[in-house]
Amino acid sequence: MAELHRNITLDRGWLAARSTEVQFTGTQLTTTHPPSSSSPPWMDAHVPGTVLATLVKNKVVPDPFYGLQNETIIDIADSGREYYTFWFFTSFHCKLSTNQHCDLNFRAINYSADVYLNGHKTILPKGMFRRHSIDVTDILHPEGDNLLAVLVHPPDHPGRIPPEGGQGGDHEIGKDVATQYVEGWDWMAPIRDRNTGIWDEVSISVTGPVKIIDPHLVSSFFDNYERAYLHTTTELENRSSWTAECSLSVQVTMELEDNTCLVEHLQTQNLSIPAKSRVQYTIPELFFYKPNLWWPNGMGKQYLYNVAISIDIKGFGESDSWSHHFGFRKIESHIDDATGGRLFKVNGEPIFIRGGNWILSDGLLRLSKKRYHTDIKFHADMNFNMIRCWGGGLAERPEFYHYCDYYGLLVWQEFWITGDVDGRGVPISNPKGPLDHDLFLFCARDTVKLLRNHPSLALWVGGNEQIPPDDINDALKNDLRLHPDFESVGENSKPVGSLSPMLRDPSQYLDGTRIYIQGSLWDGFADGMGNFTDGPYEIQNPEDFFKDTFYDYGFNPEVGSVGMPVASTIRATMPSEGWQIPVFKKLPDGYVEEVPNPIWEYHKYIPYSKPTKVHDQIQLYGDAKDLDDFCLKAQLVNYIQYRALLEGWTSRMWSKYTGVLIWKTQNPWTGLRGQFYDHLLDQTAGFYGCRCAAEPIHVQLNLATYFIEVVNTTSEELSNVAIEASVWDLEGTCPYYRVHEDLSLLPKKVAPIAEMKYPKSKNPKPVYFLLLKLYNMSDHRIISRNFYWLHLSGEDYKLLEPYRKKKIPLKITSKILIEESTYNIQVHVTNTSKTPDSKSSVFEHGSKARLSNSFYGTESLETVHCGAGKEHETGWFKRIHRCFAGKRDGLKVSEVNGHDVGVAFFLHFSVHASKTDYKEGEDTRILPVHYSDNYFSLVPGETMPINISFEVPQGVTPRVTLDGWNYDEEQIIHEVV
């Protein structure tokens, strides 16, 4: 029996050096003169990653994302390509048994490379989005080190950045098959090395004589999804000089909740593969009765089966195996007659698309499973159901798709065409797209093979705001044509039925199951005809999102707005000159123009005003005193802005719109626009505004009509539910209280319930709070909760400034669980102020708000009296600190004293490293942190449960802090040990 096949990732021990500083050839580096350590010119390399990532890691150049430091790094247009042509070197061990083969695999390189292994040279062809596999069986050293050196060349046409910047610089990068954002955009500074490097996984794989290549998995459904078939086709390559008598096995399992595996299918087929040949083999379909279906986020669970394929050879044993998670699901779409927008269905159910645009995780391509996990979980936490991978960015990696599979995010994947760079930019450039059309198509087909088995992948799109050149577009239409039984013909489509026996098996197609759309503004997106009808991309009056005149088309693929992070992020990513807030320049017409400092301007700051159309939304709260005050007020605006955007779109679900994608969800650098979390992974308040608005079942206020609406995006009818609407003024009283009972809400519908008439009442207050609760009448379980701060027409929020002086008492109860470096904390925050006529406080937020016996454990509740010692904190208020350095379990209770009655407004948790030697401006945050909610407010008597989870670096003690609008700089710090 031969030694089992194996796959080894080469992600450690890499060295790098500038090619012009290395005196040896590739042959010499991999035979007689290998580098032995990270001594000049060699340095520790960032692989996977880029040349610039390696230079930053070794502090050869400063962090390009900090302040204006990117301007100090020489651009490839000025240095020449040789400056960013680098050697990468590593070594590995690999011992083969008889009849085993070894492949050296590069999942992606930018842009081309010369590979040397043990003195033997192989040239890797051009193209950023293609895999390379080299059979190195005959050149391995069976004993000792195998020396690997890779000379990586930058893109052929890196371009030059015009003085005025622009979308994609001078557009020259579009002549290559590479990512286009690297020449800079209106949201991104240029990347100086144009992402040159070994930017994706490097591995060696050992197999027997026969190798499994690119299996394709497809599910088909019958009888209303009760019966399903799994179709499988794979390529098999026999590298031996004799006919291989094989048995090919497919095993389908599902992992159960108790970590056991249930084997659903095990099937084996015998076949012969001629010597030195590569064949395609279709495995007989596997039948499933009522399989667990994969659903998008908000529609159901993301059931994933594991499909494992192995091949055994007579006289040898197992030669190779392959496995992949697979979800049984069917995605269809058509242009909706009512709205003109593209309407998606998953497993026969319409899905209203609410998601965002994605560029890439990091501008230096420091990609990792851990970072991807956080990125995608953040999107799921916002209740999004789709991510659009923008055409100027990446064909995203399998790890990205893995977490989209896991969390239920549908993915719109574009190819590498943008209107700005490919024929529609200023100046017009590259009307024929990349110079090498065959290379583009090769990369596209290889990308399809890499990603097609992921259930989250929903559609392919030819380009951003542009279609590919005619020959490329025609080829993609042909290559990605749908199998006839996966074509959608609209609302009156035939039911899911049997596949025609005359048709090819769907797994024999390159894809065959996902639609190809030629461009992001065509065929049910924007106006459907390619005109620039996406956007807008700046601050809006919140009520405008609810007006029919705001956007004219059924599906908007891009609509964007502001994205200011918290003050701690500004201090962590900019020198003190960047801490200056904008100058608010009053214009003759009464509007305000924001003039940002040069560092903010370089980081693409979007103002919170739009002269002639939108008054400055930060100044609605009064003049910003300093950076902390500005950023806090920006978070208030972020929350309102993005909640209104999604609620406005959802208010016209199916009647006017089929979906919306926000531009953008994050930035691949320290940008200051269009983001819900910053590059350091701290969420803005807009994150939680989206999380609120995109709930599957949601109660909301139409800001244009002031009607209370309920959105039910699920397939289940709601009955016996009620809505409670309570208004709270700044004095802590409840002048308006209404309950609408015995409601029934149809599935997939928006229902207007009643007008919220407080603004029309006698002597309404100019600024007030509104709390909406949708609850089940039988047990008072909260289904949806939505909290607004509002002002009367023509007023502003300046009365909230003196409201900061209110001292609202809080009770904070917590339970902590620590598993190795992961902390999970359950917190309940209660506004303990009371009013005699408080009706709304009888319900806590959801069934989870009631503390169960398991939460309390066996310990009694005990109020811990905290010391009144002082500690320096940067900012305009002191924080309430809770330090969890004590027991691993048990309940902790802390009280924040206060004598006023009212709403505890805009409460915000954060997690920090406990430090005694704190320096001004130092960033003590532990990031990322996952919160079940944040930037929340509590009416008198109300309790909010919050779950907090995070990982702590070794040797660091975490401290959880709570701050809020009502806690000024005089507030004493509270710590619980």
E strands, 543-582, are 555-560
pLDDT for position 499: 56
pLDDT surpassing 60 at residue 1? no
Alpha-carbon distance of 758 to 754, in angstroms, equals 12
Task: Name the nearest CA neighbour of 767 among 731, 741, 743, 811.
Answer: 731
pLDDT surpassing 90 at residue 403? yes
Please write the tens of the pLDDT for every residue from 88-100: 999 999 999 999 9
Tokens representing 711 are: 């959105």
Please write the tens of the pLDDT for every residue from 208-229: 999 999 999 999 999 999 999 9
Distance, C-alpha 402 to centroid of its chain: 12
Task: Name the nearest CA neighbour of 884 among 914, 906, 915, 854.
Answer: 914
Distance, C-alpha 36 to centroid of its chain: 40
Tokens representing 572 are: 């962590």
Tokens representing 184 are: 């800079």
Alpha-carbon distance of 365 to 206, in angstroms, equals 28
pLDDT surpassing 80 at residue 917? no
pLDDT surpassing 80 at residue 869? no
Alpha-carbon distance of 824 to 816, in angstroms, equals 6
Predicted confidence band of residue 844 (pLDDT cuts 50, 70, 90): very low
pLDDT surpassing 90 at residue 974? no
Alpha-carbon distance of 710 to 697, in angstroms, equals 7
Alpha-carbon distance of 92 to 113, in angstroms, equals 19
Q: What percent of the chain has pLDDT over 90?
A: 85
Predicted confidence band of residue 4 (pLDDT cuts 50, 70, 90): low
For 584-645, the DSSP string reads EEE-TTS-EEEE--HHHHHTTPPPS-BTTTB--TTGGG----SHHHHHHHHHHHHHHHHHHH
**Dihedral Cα 705, 709, 713, 714, nearest 10 deg:** -170
Distances (CA, A) of 10 to 47, 93, 148, 283, 462: 9, 11, 11, 33, 33
Task: Name the nearest CA neighbour of 772 among 728, 713, 720, 835.
Answer: 728
Half-sphere exposure of 117 (CA within 13 A, CB side): 23
Contacts of 345 (CB under 8 A, 6+ apart): 331, 332, 333, 351, 488
Query: What is the residue-averaged pLDDT of the chain?
Result: 91
| Residue 665, Cβ density class (10 Å: 0-12 exposed, 13-18 middle, ≥19 buried) | buried
Mean pLDDT of 721-737: 98
Which element (helix H / strand E) includes 752?
Answer: strand 749-755
Mean pLDDT of 848-877: 30
Whether 283 and 230 have beta carbons less than 8 Å apart is answered as no
Contacts of 428 (CB under 8 A, 6+ apart): none
Side chain identity at 482, as an amino acid letter?
Answer: L
pLDDT for position 164: 85
| Residue 194, Cβ density class (10 Å: 0-12 exposed, 13-18 middle, ≥19 buried) | buried
pLDDT for position 680: 98
Distances (CA, A) of 639 to 249, 788, 797, 964: 53, 10, 14, 15
Greater confidence (611 vs 918) lies with 611
Q: Work out whether the CA dihedral 187, 189, 193, 194 comes out positive or negative.
A: positive
Tokens representing 952 are: 């702590």
Alpha-carbon distance of 17 to 22, in angstroms, equals 7
pLDDT surpassing 80 at residue 860? no
Mean pLDDT of 747-753: 98
The one-character DSSP state at 883 is E
Contacts of 446 (CB under 8 A, 6+ apart): 129, 130, 131
Alpha-carbon distance of 109 to 201, in angstroms, equals 9
Whether 162 and 169 have beta carbons less than 8 Å apart is answered as yes
Task: Name the nearest CA neighbour of 606 among 526, 684, 694, 520.
Answer: 684
Distance, C-alpha 623 to centroid of its chain: 34
Please write the tens of the pLDDT for every residue from 569-618: 999 999 999 999 999 999 999 999 999 999 999 999 999 999 999 999 99
Report the 10 Å Cβ neighbour count for 733.
17
Alpha-carbon distance of 162 to 174, in angstroms, equals 15
Alpha-carbon distance of 925 to 906, in angstroms, equals 19
Three-class DSSP labels, 925-948: ECCCEEECCCCEEECCCCEEEEEE
pLDDT for position 481: 97
Mean pLDDT of 30-34: 97
Alpha-carbon Rg for the chain in angstroms: 29
Mean pLDDT of 724-750: 97
Mean pLDDT of 166-170: 92
The alpha helices in 413-547, defined as continuous H runs, are 437-451, 470-479
> At residue 859, what are phi and psi to the nearest 5 degrees?
-85, 145
pLDDT for position 493: 43
Please write the tens of the pLDDT for every residue from 406-445: 999 999 999 999 999 999 988 788 889 999 999 999 999 9
Alpha-carbon distance of 775 to 490, in angstroms, equals 35
Task: Name the nearest CA neighbour of 378 among 670, 678, 606, 821.
Answer: 678
Task: Name the nearest CA neighbour of 19 among 147, 154, 159, 215.
Answer: 154
Please list the helix, strand and coil fractions of the chain in percent, rounded to the nearest 5, in that order: 15, 35, 50
Alpha-carbon distance of 295 to 285, in angstroms, equals 23
| Residue 934, Cβ density class (10 Å: 0-12 exposed, 13-18 middle, ≥19 buried) | buried
Report the 10 Å Cβ neighbour count for 328.
22
Whether 140 and 156 have beta carbons less than 8 Å apart is answered as no
| Residue 685, Cβ density class (10 Å: 0-12 exposed, 13-18 middle, ≥19 buried) | buried
Alpha-carbon distance of 514 to 487, in angstroms, equals 9
pLDDT for position 889: 56
pLDDT for position 916: 72
Alpha-carbon distance of 711 to 553, in angstroms, equals 20
The one-character DSSP state at 200 is S
Phi-psi region of 380 (alpha: psi -120 to 50; beta: other; left: phi over 0): alpha
Which element (helix H / strand E) includes 55?
Answer: helix 51-57
| Residue 409, Cβ density class (10 Å: 0-12 exposed, 13-18 middle, ≥19 buried) | buried
Catalytic residues: 465, 558
Side chain identity at 428, as an amino acid letter?
Answer: I
Please write the tens of the pLDDT for every residue from 513-553: 999 999 999 999 999 999 999 999 999 999 999 999 999 99
Alpha-carbon distance of 25 to 308, in angstroms, equals 43
Please write the tens of the pLDDT for every residue from 140-151: 998 889 999 999
Task: Name the nearest CA neighbour of 692 among 601, 605, 787.
Answer: 787
The alpha helices in 408-538, defined as continuous H runs, are 437-451, 470-479
Contacts of 312 (CB under 8 A, 6+ apart): 246, 247, 249, 318, 319
Task: Name the nearest CA neighbour of 231 among 252, 207, 200.
Answer: 252
**Dihedral Cα 762, 765, 767, 772, nearest 10 deg:** -50
Mean pLDDT of 182-195: 97
**Dihedral Cα 799, 804, 808, 809, nearest 10 deg:** 170
